[in-house]
Structure 1
């Protein structure tokens, strides 16, 4: 049986929110990570200190941009990155 792959065309490609630096206010950043992910405060603090870390994965562009801004306002360095195209779609 042959495998078939279908590319669904949508308006927005998925984005990841990557924390690249916690800054000096790690607890403030951990609280924002907790609010965004729903993790416990302890796990959020661990995630905030182990950079680079993907905080959110596969979210729409607007949500990723808002999350990156919230992290930056807390003192972190963060960015929204577009997910790369899967290998099986490249020719």
Structure 2
């Protein structure tokens, strides 16, 4: 039996939301992280206090942009990063 791999081609490249600095209003940022991720309050606080934490992984650009806007409104510094292309999809030539 032969195993074939399937590559799905999407119009939208997945994006990650990275919290680069929680800022001074940690409680407000914690509540935003909790709403975005669905984590408990304690886990959201731990995630919000960590610099360069991945908040959302592999989401569409519109969702990532909205999340960054919400985090910035709460006083945090956040950015959207495009997910890198997997090695097996890169051209070898």
The reply to whether TM is greater than 0.5 is yes
Structure 2 residue 71 is the aligned partner of structure 1 residue 55: no
C-alpha RMSD of matched pairs (Å): 1.3
Unaligned runs of 5+ in 1: none
Give the structure 2 partner of residue 66 of structure 1: 66
Residue by residue over 1:11-47, the C-alpha shift from the partner in whole angstroms, topping out at 9 and shown as x without a partner, is: 1010000000000000000000000000011110100
| 2-structure distance, mates of 1:87, 1:27 | 39
Q: Determine whether 1:12 maps to 2:12.
A: yes
Shift in Å, 1:87: 1.1
Structure 1-normalised TM-score? Answer: 0.92
Structure with max Cα Rg: 2
Residue in 2 aligned with 1:24? 24
CA distance in 2 between counterparts of 1:34 and 1:2 reads 44
CA distance in structure 2 between the aligned counterparts of 1:30 and 1:74, rounded to whole angstroms: 9
Given the two structures, how large is their TM-score scaled by the length of structure 2? 0.90
